[in-house]
Amino acid sequence: MRPMQSHLARCLLQAALFFAVIAGMTSGPAGAQSAADFYRGKQITLMVGSSPGGGYDAVGRVVARYLGRHIPGNPSIVVENTPGGGSISMSNRIYHQAPQDGTVLGLVQRGVLLAQLTKEANAQFDLGKFNWIGSVSAVTSVVVAWHTVPVKTVQDLLAKPFIVGGTGATSDLEATARLLNATIGSKFKIISGYPGTADVLLAMERGEVQGSADWSWQELKTTRADLLREKKVNVILQDGLAKAPDLPGVPLAIDQIRNKTDRQVARLYLGLKSVARPILAGPDVPADRVKALRAAFVALKDDPAYRADAEKLGLEEPTPGDKIDAFIALTKSASPEVGDRLAQILNPALHERARQ
């Protein structure tokens, strides 16, 4: 009986292995349902790397309101404001500490996309390993001065000190100011440490700072149209690669740059505007959930309710995640000369060491 028992055991083991292989080969349909099964009844946290009340916060809340409708399983989405370091600290947290299961997303300030190229010491992540879900909108940014400030033209920018607020080394407000100082000779003086853009704008109205080096034109003309109507701000310069159709008389910053390398640097930096509101997921989120999140994000462009709310903020059509992947690849292919120049301009610590 022992030989027969041994033979029977081998047969049972072989049968078990056979059915396991068959199950693996036929698991495609079940795998396609795994995202829905996972997200059903779940809550996603959309972390926003800026303080409440600013442009990124408004964008994040619109996305949170509608994105869950298009994710398999229809999870709810809540917003968690996580300001600090121009979204660097939040990006570190998502990369190293947040659950890698697709329940945590991050809307980051776009300067994060250059953090490795500019050698930001606090950037403890590999941009290429994040899962980029998409960009909510492209943006046109402008240099704005409070109406009582004696800086009213590009010539004034080049001749007079101009005090602006900042929210972190990689934030648009500070990075654009440093870029313009280095490439066109403007005289921005940055007061750093504000939690978010909304705080800088309040500081401008209180007279603590004189304006902003980088404010979304879409946000200004929609959510703060009163400032334009009452002529409380002057729009001096556009921070982009092409003029906004409704700002034909406001010059482009890049047209003021004469040095060839500096123009290449500016084109790389200002190219961020095309992927201006990037949303990421952690590096180890399962591929099927990333695929579902990306598809849901792109579906927002066909959601009438989302589009109606997005238009109120001046948001353009969402950009797929592969466009962000392409921009990151572009940063990695930048020449050493352009990369070093950009790093020296945008990274204050490197800039200071270069001067010593």
The mean pLDDT value of the chain amounts to: 88
58 vs 5: which has the higher pLDDT: 58
- Can you tell me the mean pLDDT for 121-134? 95
Most confident of 5-14, 17-26, 196-205: 196-205
- Calculate helix-pair angle for 197-206, 55-66, nearest 10 degrees: 140
CATH class of 43-138+274-342: alpha beta
Most confident of 19-23, 101-105, 191-195: 101-105
Q: Work out the number of other CB atoms within 10 angstroms of the CB of residue 2.
A: 6
- Can you tell me the mean pLDDT for 59-64? 97
Q: Is the pLDDT of residue 59 over 90?
A: yes
d(CA 220, CA 235): 10
Tell me which residue has tokens 């790093």: 343
Domain residue ranges of the chain, discontinuous segments joined by +: 43-138+274-342, 141-272
d(CA 225, CA 220): 6
Contact 122, 85 (CB under 8 A): yes
Q: What is the pLDDT of residue 307?
A: 96
Report strand pairing: 76-81 vs 43-48: parallel
314: CB partners within 8 A, 6+ apart: 216, 217, 218, 219, 221, 222
* Reported pTM: 0.75
Q: What is the pLDDT of residue 24?
A: 45
Q: What is the pLDDT of residue 30?
A: 37
b/e sequence 101-132, b meaning 16+ C-beta within 10 Å: ebbbbbbbbbbbbbbbbbbbeebebebeebbb
**Closest to 236 in 3D by CA, of 276, 176, 192, 193:** 176
* Region of poorest pLDDT, from 21-35, 175-189, 239-253: 21-35
pLDDT tens-digit series, residues 308-328: 999 998 898 999 999 999 999
- Can you tell me the mean pLDDT for 192-201? 88
Q: What are phi and psi of 279, to 5 degrees?
A: -115, 130
Q: What is the CATH number of domain 141-272?
A: 3.40.190.10
- Domain 141-272 in the same topology as domain 43-138+274-342: yes
Q: Is the pLDDT of residue 269 over 60?
A: yes
**Closest to 186 in 3D by CA, of 215, 204, 163:** 163
Q: What is the pLDDT of residue 34?
A: 86
